[in-house]
Amino acid sequence: MKCLSLQVLYIECSSLVFIPSFIQISAQMRTYPKNATTQYYPREFSEEEKETLKQSKPLVDFLNNASISVEIALQQNEITNTFIDDWKHLAEEEGTFGDKTDTHLKEYQSFTDLHSPMEKMITCVSWHPTIYGLIAVSVAVRLSFEDRVHFSGKLLLQPSLILFWSFSDPIHPQLMLESPDDIFCFKFCPSDPNIIAGGCINGQIVMWDITAHADRIVNVKAGGSRSKKATLKPMFLLEPESNKEAMYIRHCAVSSIENGHKKVITDIHWLSDTFEINRMGSVFENRSGICCQLVTCSADCTICFWDIRPQKPLTPQTIEKKKEESIEIPFDVPSTFLHLDLSWKPLTKVRLSKGETSLDHCPTKISLKEDHLLCKTQVCTPSTNTPLKDKVLAQSKTAKAEEMNPYHNLDSGMPNLLKPIDDFCTKFFVGTEEGEVIYTDWKMEKDPETGRFMPKKPVSLHTIHDGIVHTIQRSPFYDDIILTVGGWNVAIWKESVMTGPLLQSCCAPKRYTSGHWSLTRPGVFYIGREDGYIDIWDLLEKTHEPAQSQNICITMITCIKPWIFSPKQQFIAIADYYGTLHILEIPWTLTRPSTNEMTSINHYFEREVKHLEYVEQRKKIREQEKKEMEQEMAKKKVKIYQKSKEQMEAELKMDYESYLELEKTVLINLGLIKVTEKGSYSDVV
């Protein structure tokens, strides 16, 4: 046994010695592409077999039984989409910004002019049409008319400005547009956002051309040199910038004081680039393809239409005469609208006469038919951001920008050669200081008595608001739905319904000062109040009161303007009386429309129209019923007439006979007279 064990141990030791530590095996085969084809033919029945199968009874029975199932399946495919994913359509699409349950506006940024020595308020706000994060605001001194007269000397020393703010720099404005007086309203040109028109408190219209300075606002980058300096040093230690003077831009042209408005311009609009009007208000095609006309309303009871083109074609003699009389303009002012400066007159004026008296309506806001349309804009190509070091570079830069500007060489309008538009709607809505909403026409008609052309009478007039109308705006989804805000209430109108508003809110706790439709939800609009709150109305949720109210500031809200950054993110700009511009982010619930929201809101408006029609019908029926009741009451009030002698004797005889019958009955009941007695009771008596 011991020898056997030793042998086993020897074998184990030998196996450990002769096994290699590792083994590596590899194999490689070379492959070559080979040509290969496969050809086959399907098995088919012969013609005789086909004829035999067609006449066979099993095939006919199968087709009759299967045709019903096939027809049902085809009908189901036509009715129901079998490829839809029901799980994905159980809820609406997910949003990325904020929680769905969050319904409040969130503060994103705010802007305040810290360098202004006087207290100012924001009068108008407008987002730049093509540049992200750029917004323009007009500011005015917070003074009454008497204080303006008293401090007129000091006001002349302070420039009236339109400030351009950028998200990248909340402290320094990117541009400052100078004007002769405080601006109360302004609008970017839909054809070219570098052209801006504004209305002053003194009744003048101001035009700016910022084409030469477009690179300053296009090439703005977050965290630029100015923001870096502001983070490293205090403001009083900052070095003055070399291009600080370039931030102030003078106006190109200003209208004539004698021939324009006499009071503050309260609203201004660019007419669409598809049409233009003449002095009589007739509409023609606009062949230039750019917006060339403006419409303004003022507190002097007039609505003016303006044309930025030369009214008459310039002859060589006229050009030479103007060159001799012209004053040399500064090098940094473009000559785009030099032909309008101090000589610009309105094309036509419309006065809203009350008719019964010599007084006129005082318009504050207007809304044209074309306001809801998306106007064309030209995206300006950014240029190199070179500072203005000397006059030569500035002049060359301005000349180059003017060559690219379509408004530099404007031809005079020639309505005689243009094609008229007959089916164009020339009616528009007007809001007044007295709270009236007027639907009128800008076309002139000839007065048969005097022979002069006069404005037409208003089509309808309703006094719904108990204060000045601050907002009158068409819905971006329905071109015939108008929102009006004024006094203590809000109203929604339909253009074809002249009987009254579709919706009229009850009195609010504070006065309403501004309003605006939502840009993505048909049933949502925002209303600003004088106590700094903003009311958010959602017609799908409530129609008798706001869906929610949120405090934004401690003073009056002067202007509201929403803006779409992307399909998933929207902002709303809210300006207040203290000169602060608040930028808030709109939550997901107020930006994403619900399923079939547009159809639901349209049905709501149709129901309200039917309700108004029913009310009018009931009024007519009630008036007819009232007339019939009055006629019946008149018939009942018959006059008492004198009876004749024969009628009186007949009535006395009838009364006497009835008395005798009663006496006979009493005597018979007492047994004094027998019933069997012959003769009448009168004979017995």
Residue 560 tokens read as 């509201």
pLDDT of residue 28: 67
> Which residues does 93 contact at the CB level (< 8 Å), separation at least 6?
592
Q: Is residue 145 part of a domain?
A: no
- Residue pair 111/158 in contact (Cβ under 8 Å)? The answer is no
Provide the pLDDT for residue 332. 64
Among candidates 135, 191, 132, which has minimal Cα distance to 378?
191
Q: Domain span at residue 663? A: 645-684
* Token digits of residue 197: 């028109």
Determine which of 57-71, 581-595, 628-642, 644-658 has the lowest per-residue pLDDT on average: 628-642
Residue 649 lies in a domain: yes
End-to-end Cα, the chain, rounded Å: 178
CB contact at 8 A, 270 and 187: yes
> What stretch of H or E contains 307?
strand 302-307
Query: Does some domain include residue 671?
Result: yes
Alpha carbon distance 628, 479 (integer Å): 43
Q: What is the pLDDT of residue 13?
A: 45
- Positive or negative, the CA dihedral 651, 654, 656, 662 is negative
Q: Distance between CA atoms of 367 and 513, rounded to whole angstroms?
A: 17
Q: Are the C-beta atoms of residues 471 and 484 closer than 8 Å to each other?
A: yes
pLDDT digit string, tens, across residues 569-586: 899 999 999 999 999 999
In a domain, 521, yes or no: no
User: Is residue 364 within 8 Å of 469, Cβ to Cβ?
Assistant: yes
Residue 10 has pLDDT above 60, yes or no: no
Cα-flanking dihedrals φ and ψ of residue 96, to 5°? -110, -25
**Helix, strand counts (H, E) of the chain:** 13, 33
Q: Which two tokens stand for residue 503?
A: 């919706």
Residue 269 and residue 295 in contact, taking contact as beta carbons nearer than 8 Å: yes
Q: Give the integer Cα–Cα distance in Å for 612 and 605.
A: 11
- Which segments of 265-390 does DSSP mark as H helices, in order? 316-325
Check residues 323 and 267 and name the one with the higher pLDDT.
267
Please report the pLDDT score of residue 375 as a whole number. 40
Q: Is residue 659 part of a domain?
A: yes
Q: What does the DSSP assignment read for 235-279?
A: GGGPPPPTTSGGGEE--SEEB-TTTS-SS-EEEEEEPPTTEEE-T
Report the candidate in 441, 296, 281, 302 with the shortest Cα–Cα distance to residue 361.
302
pLDDT tens for 260-293 read: 899 999 999 999 888 889 888 888 888 888 899 9
Determine whether 240 is exposed, middle or buried from the number of CB atoms within 10 Å of its CB (0-12, 13-18, 19+).
Answer: exposed
Span 472-485, pLDDT tens digits: 999 999 989 999 99
Average model confidence (pLDDT) for the chain? 80
- If one counts the domains in the chain, the total is 1
Using the predicted structure, report yes or no on whether residue 526 has a pLDDT greater than 60.
Answer: yes
Which percentage of the chain shows pLDDT scores above 90? 40
Check residue 459 and report its DSSP letter: S
Residue 411 placed within a domain: no
Element (H, E) at 206: strand 205-209
Query: How big is the chain by its Cα radius of gyration, in Å?
Result: 43
Q: Nearest-CA neighbor of 332 among 247, 250, 405?
A: 250
User: Six-digit token pair at 579?
Assistant: 């000169």
Please give the DSSP secondary-structure letter assigned to residue 457: P
d(CA 255, CA 199): 10
- Note the pLDDT of residue 8: 46
* Contact partners, residue 544, CB within 8 Å, separation at least 6: 505, 506
pLDDT at 236 > cutoff 70: no
Which of 62-76, 94-108, 203-217, 294-308 is least confident?
94-108
Which residue in 489, 502, 503, 366 sits closest to 438, CA to CA? Answer: 366
Structure tokens at 505: 């809110």
Torsion of CA 555, 560, 564, 569, to 10 degrees: 30
Is 658 within a domain?
Answer: yes
Strands (E), 539-648: 548-551, 557-566, 569-576, 580-585
- Whether 667 maps to a domain, the answer reads yes
Provide the whole-model pTM.
0.71
Structure tokens at 99: 């929680």
Give ∠ CA 400-406-408 in degrees, rounded to 5: 65
Sheet containing 460-463: give its strands across: 363-367, 427-432, 436-441, 460-463
- Per-residue pLDDT of 404-414, as tens digits, reads 566 766 766 55
**Poorest-pLDDT segment among 5-9, 66-70, 116-120, 477-481:** 5-9
Report how far residue 530's alpha carbon sits from residue 647's, in angstroms, rounded to the nearest whole number.
81
